Amino acid sequence: MMSLSNQNKPKSKFSARRLLKALALTTVMGVVACAPPQSNYKPTGEGVVDVMVPYGSGGGTDTWARFITQAFADINPDVRRYQVVNVPGGETITGTNAFVKSGVTNGQYVMVGSATTYFQDMLDHKAVQFDFAKMEPLAFNGTGGVVWTNGNKTGIKNINDLKNAKEEWLYGGMSASGLDLIALLALEALGVPNRGVFGFEGRGPTRLAVLRGETALDFQTTSTYLSQLADNVKTGEVVPLFSMGIPVNGKIERDPNLPDIPTFEELYQQIGGKTDHQRKAYQAFQAFVATGLYYQKGLWANEGTDPAVIDKYDAMVKQLNADEAFMKKAKEALGGYQLISGKEAKADFNKALKVDPETMDFIAKLLLEKYGTAIH
Amino acid sequence: MMDIIISALGQLADPTVLLFLLAGVVIGIIIGVIPGLGGTGAVAVLMPFIFMLEPNQAIAMIIGAVAVVHTSDVITSVVLGIPGSASASVFLLDGYKMAQKGEGARALSASFIASTIGGLFGIVALTLVVPIAKPIVTSFGSPEIFSLIVAGVFLTAMLSKGNMTKGLMVALFGLALGFVGVSPISAEYRFTFGMESLSDGLNLVVVALGIFGLAEMISLIAHKTAISNQKVDLGAGWRKGFRDILRYPFDVLRGSIVGTAVGFLPGVGSTAGAWLSYGQAQAFASRKGDSQFGEGDVRGVIAPSAASNGIESGALIPTLIFGVPGAAPFALLLGVLLVFGIQPGPAMMTKHLDLVYFIVWAFALASIAGAVLSFALARPLARLSFVPFPILAAALIPILFMSGFQGPIDLNTFYMMLFFGLIGWLCKACDIPRAPFLIAFVLAEPLERYFFLTVKVYEPTQWMTRPFVMVVIFILVAAVVLPLIQSHLKKRKGDDAQAQAAIAEADGKEATNKVRLVTSLVFLGFFILWLALATGYSGNGGLFPKTVGVVGIAIALLAIMLDIKKLKAAPDTEETITKWRHTLVTVAVSTAWVLFFIWSVFAIGMLAATAIFALVFLLAVARMKPVNAVIYTAGITASIWAMESLAHMVLPVGYLQIFMG
């Protein structure tokens, strides 16, 4: 019986010789076993400036990048168009690393950075191979923000109610090491008893959470606040506590879009007898609010870029800001704020980038112990 | 309200939107027909195009595909005895029998019409539920969403059709992999081993394409002949099918109800739903006394058809209203909606109600269009199954990898897809269901998120006593208890539904019992490693991975014990061992071909690699005539090129391109 079935078995197609051939082929192939990097600089061509966007296509930063580069192309006769290349991955580190590696200094390759990327640099992420202090900013677009609460659910009418609270108020955010860090540092500096819950999937959910009464405090950008929340101030449902303000000639002034809301700076200066903890939080706040909000989105060029390129963008920014028709059209895209010349803001930005080790320790400790967040 | 419904229809009436809807329908029909590739495959293939379209167009296209994929998957099941998708396996019984009796056309037409009615029924249900949903939604908080996600993960595994242990085990595996990447609550990197490719987690499209798409292909490539050798004779009888619908309206209705209800509960799935519908139709028929079930009773085609589409539309309800995927393809739909900044869930009811109705209308139109198209294409479509699979594979492999690449833009994706393809094949071979894996994988992150959002905001007594949460807990308990009761009843009736369940997963299952045991051991090893790694993470960030590890170890041990029992009861025969070895060799060869493709892309970039791979593959494996092979290869390469230039997809670059600057 056994032998019969063996005889009827079809002859194996996989003879030794074929196996050997396959093996040889496999070895050759094995040489290319490592996946080639996909983000190497590939100039598109004459008259086209390539833009590295280390964010996913369709996201907020990507949309801004496409909008602003289109605006620049429209007023620059030397540039036909900008070609956006999306390289999301490694939490924006992959694309930024690739950009810096290219070493292009003639202005034909630029990059768009946003708060997330700056924070990676400032928080000393291990995989970071770039240094924004060395790179050349071309243009910035900042945003303002508001910390608010639901007056009807929490009974808080103003910031003093908050500071004198007996228990900790709950702040709902996305991630303590992201933009929420700014709001948290502000609350700490003002001496507001708080605890945080993170993991909300966006600023929409955090907003709903406050409206529902699940959380007490939330941070929203100016444009969202104005479009979704400002109308409910009169019912007492929405109580703005303080805004982040905007920097004007080195001083923090009230946000022109939110003239009735006091700034964090105002409130902080009013405090007599600040504790050491509050002072440290204030220092940390200064560093992160600048890169995170005042200069949130930026167009960047590599270290050592031709000064003529930088001057060109300086001129273009001023031209766009003066163009009323453009500013009107750009209101949504720019969040209602003007463009800032990279050349002019560079010193301020670099100052903010330098977080001294003591402050870094303070932040790392605060994040870990109070908010359960580990910085890489 | 009516004005929103009408305005949504108006949005749909835009010609470009309708065009993309139709495109989605066409793609959905084609993929539904191809055995093995199902709804997830269709949506996964469409996904890269999504980024290039307006939201309305993109959503219309996806809905178009998802709505019809269960309309056309019946074709190969009926005509050729090969299931077009797992849930279509139910048609192998009566549907196929009818075709053998020469009544194939009747079965198909009855199925298409029932499918459409089932889909429309679910849509009507969705429409009716939406207005009532509003008040629920505003009081919908993190606890409610959390309980529903738990239900989704739980039910998915529980209803793995008599395969509960393996279903749970693979669901936990999916959960575990879902935690790779940055933790949403503690911002630490988990299970990334310092690799940048993993720091954003595993890409859903890659995983789905691998574990379902590539896995199917790895198994099917091995069969060098055509999928079917039968003669196609559908016979007359298209009109007979129509009359059957009129004769059995209640079967259509009950099938639709079962389908919609099943779709409404996240995670139950179309396979379980289709079989449940078949079972209830059979029960009613035997009570009526004229049952021909098993011999070619048309009700055995009508009920599951209505259910399958009812499930798809019913699944829209939890997907849109609660933000929890009601079925595997909807996991991808959720991802797409999020890309467009649309937060499915309570917010959708207040902010995007018009979009909800837009989807409703799109689904309805797609269902009807799908049925019409199915009728038109049934005959030529069935012929695809006569095309030797290697010929199809030559085109499908480049396309699948191209699609998977678009998300992460990282060529390590290719390895990941192959890896998941092999895992998927192994699961098929060991009769481990894969749907629980995918749904658990998708729900892992939301599960963790909403758990912490719930427990950090509320006390346990506060959130567990909320009415909705209690309802969900009740449903979960019922879901566990009811099948037990049902199986008791079935045992009394002597129903052979169990035996039919065994036939269901027709292909696969080549693994010997020893191999199944080894696989379970591998899973155990995985969970142990997982737990060990998880202990290194912070309190909050480590909680879920550790829990998954512990429960995973427990379930894997249980699975091992069951496998040992099975091995002892039915030791592997010489026949099964030989069959397994043969399968292994053919799978190894398939894998080698895929690796050849992958490494070619690494070396010389996508276009050149596609051309070379397709040509060599067609000549060597498909044994095509050289002239035909060249023409076909040119077509495939042109399609890839079209994907880049027309659809603006990104083409992978190889070392050659980098070297040439």
The interface predicted TM-score (ipTM) is 0.78
- No. of helices (H) and no. of strands (E), chain A: 16, 13
**Mean pLDDT, rounded, for A87-112:** 88
Q: Which of B10, B59, B153 is nearest to B441 (CA)?
A: B153
Q: Could you give the CA distance from residue A279 to residue B138 in angstroms, rounded to a whole number?
A: 41
Tell which of A208, A215, A371 to mutate to test the B interface (max B CBs under 10 Å): A208
Q: Does B141 touch chain A (CB under 8 A)?
A: yes
Token duo for residue B83:
């299931």
CA distance B443 to B172: 11
pLDDT of residue A159: 82
Helix axes B389-406, B606-620, angle to 10 degrees: 160
A 231-290 residues inside an 8 A Cβ radius of B: none
A36–B595 C-beta distance less than 8 A: no
- For residue A369, give how far its alpha carbon lies from the nearest alpha carbon of chain B (Å): 11
The per-residue pLDDT for A9 is 46
Averaged pLDDT of chain B: 77
Q: Which of A27-41, B191-205, B280-294 has the lowest mean pLDDT?
A: B280-294
The predicted model gives A325-333 an average pLDDT of: 75
Whether residue A375 and residue B185 make contact (CB cut-off 8 A), yes or no, is no
Subunit contact B538:A34, Cβ cutoff 8 A = no
Q: Average pLDDT for residues B219-245, to the nearest whole number?
A: 63
Q: Angle formed by the axes of helices B574-604 and B389-406, to 10°?
A: 50
Q: Read off φ and ψ for residue A360, nearest 5 degrees.
A: -60, -45
Q: Evaluate if residue B137 carries a pLDDT over 50.
A: no
pLDDT at A10: 46
By Cβ distance, the residue of A56, A198, A375 closest to B185 is A198
Q: Would you call B410 an interface residue with chain A, using a CB distance cutoff of 8 Å?
A: yes
Residues within 8 A of A (CB atoms), B 121-140 only: 138-139
Q: How far apart are CA B57 and CA B44, in angstroms?
A: 16
For residue A1, name the pLDDT band (cuts at 50, 70, 90).
very low
Contacting residues for B51 by C-beta, under 8 A, at least 6 apart: A57, A58, B339, B406, B648
Alpha-helix residue ranges (DSSP H) falling in B315-432: 316-317, 328-339, 346-351, 353-384, 389-406, 412-429
The answer to whether residues B182 and A91 touch, using CB atoms and an 8 Å cutoff, is yes
- A310 has which bridge partners? none
* Helix H or strand E segment including B189: strand B189-190
Candidates B199, B599, B652; nearest CB to A32: B599
Count other C-beta atoms under 10 Å from residue A193's C-beta: 14
What's the whole-number mean pLDDT along residues B296-313? 88
Out of A142-146, B210-214, B606-610, pick the least confident. B210-214
Contact A163, A192 (CB under 8 A): yes
Contacts of A166 (CB under 8 A, 6+ apart): A193
User: A306-337: buried (b, 16+ CB within 10 Å) or exposed (e) per residue?
Assistant: eeebbebbbebbeebbeeeebbeebeeebbbb
Beta strands in chain A (DSSP E): 48-53, 81-86, 109-113, 136-141, 145-150, 169-173, 194-198, 217-221, 238-243, 246-248, 251-253, 297-301, 339-341
Q: Calculate helix-pair angle for B435-457, B164-178, nearest 10 degrees.
A: 60
Q: How far apart are CA A370 and CA A208, in angstroms?
A: 24
Angle between helices A93-102 and A115-122 (to 10 degrees): 80
Confidence of residue B38 (pLDDT cuts 50, 70, 90): low
Q: Mean pLDDT for chain A?
A: 84
Contact assessment for residue A359 and residue A280, using Cβ atoms and an 8 Å cutoff = yes
Would you state the pLDDT for residue A140? 93
Whether chain B has a CB inside 8 Å of the CB on A14: the answer is yes
pLDDT, position B240: 78
User: Cα A279–A280–A285 angle (5° rounding)?
Assistant: 95
Best probe of the A interface among B59, B179, B203, B456, by most A CBs < 10 A, is B456
- In contact, B570 and B513? CB cutoff 8 Å: yes
| pLDDT at residue A5 in the model | 43
Residue B641 in contact with partner chain A when CB distance is under 8 A: no
Kindly report which listed range (A82-91, B87-96, B232-241, B370-379) carries the lowest average pLDDT score: B232-241
Report the alpha-carbon distance of residue A330 to residue A341 in Å, rounded. Answer: 17
Taking the Cβ of residue A369 and every Cβ of chain B, the question of whether any pair is shorter than 8 Å is answered with no
Q: What is the pLDDT of residue B647?
A: 47
Dist CA B539 CA B542 (whole Å): 5
Neighbouring-strand partners of residue A113: A298
Instruction: Say whether pLDDT at A229 is over 90.
Output: no
Q: How far, CA to CA in Å, does A78 sit from each of A74, A108, A138, A310?
A: 10, 11, 17, 14
End-to-end CA distance of chain B: 59
How many percent of chain B have pLDDT more than 90? 13
Statement: residue B469 has pLDDT above 90 = no
Q: How confident is the model at residue A28 (pLDDT cuts 50, 70, 90)?
A: low
Structure tokens at B156: 């998915």
Contact flag B409-A38 (C-beta cutoff 8 Å): yes
Q: Are B356 and B345 in contact (CB under 8 A)?
A: no
- Asked if B412 lies within 8 A of A35 by C-beta distance, the reply is yes
Q: Which of B347, B538, B596 sits opposite A204 (nearest CB)?
A: B347
> What residues have CB less than 8 Å from B155, skipping those under 6 apart?
B265, B266, B267, B268, B476, B479
Q: What is the biggest distance separating any 2 CA atoms in chain A, rounded to whole angstroms?
A: 100
Distance of alpha carbon A119 from alpha carbon A189, whole angstroms: 20
Q: How far apart are CA B281 and CA B118, in angstroms?
A: 14
Predicted local confidence at residue B76, as pLDDT: 73
Dihedral sign of CA atoms A26, A29, A30, A33 in order: negative
CA B528 to mean position of chain CA atoms: 28
State the pLDDT confidence band at B47, using cuts at 50, 70 and 90: low
Which range is least confidently modeled, A44-48, A135-139, A176-180, B126-130? B126-130
| Residue B625: predicted pLDDT | 86
Closest by CA to B603, choosing from B656, B658, B640, is: B656
Band of residue B159 on the pLDDT scale cut at 50, 70, 90: very low
- The 8-class DSSP code of residue A166 comes to S
Amino acid identity, residue A288? F
**Up-side HSE of residue B528: CA atoms within 13 Å toward CB?**
8
> Which is more confident, A331 or A42?
A42
**Does the pLDDT of residue A218 top 90, yes or no?**
yes
Contacts of A11 in chain B (CB under 8 A): none
Q: What is the Cβ-side half-sphere exposure of residue B480, based on CA atoms within 13 angstroms?
A: 7
pLDDT classification of B217: cutoffs 50, 70, 90: confident
* Greater model confidence, B78 or B550: B550
Instruction: Kindly give, in sequence order, each residue whose CB lies less than 8 Å from that of residue B362, ignoring residues fewer than 6 positions away.
Output: B12, B21, B59, B60, B63, B64, B67
Query: Which of the given ranges, B97-101, B113-117, B140-144, has the highest pLDDT on average?
Result: B113-117
Q: How many CB atoms lie within 10 A of CB A265?
A: 22
Q: Is A176 helix (H, G, I), strand (E, B) or coil?
A: coil
pTM, to two decimals: 0.72
B positions 170-189 inside 8 Å of A (CB): 182, 184-189
Give percent above pLDDT 70 in chain A: 90
Contact in structure between A168 and A141 (CB atoms under 8 Å): no
**Is a pLDDT exceeding 80 seen at residue B205?**
no
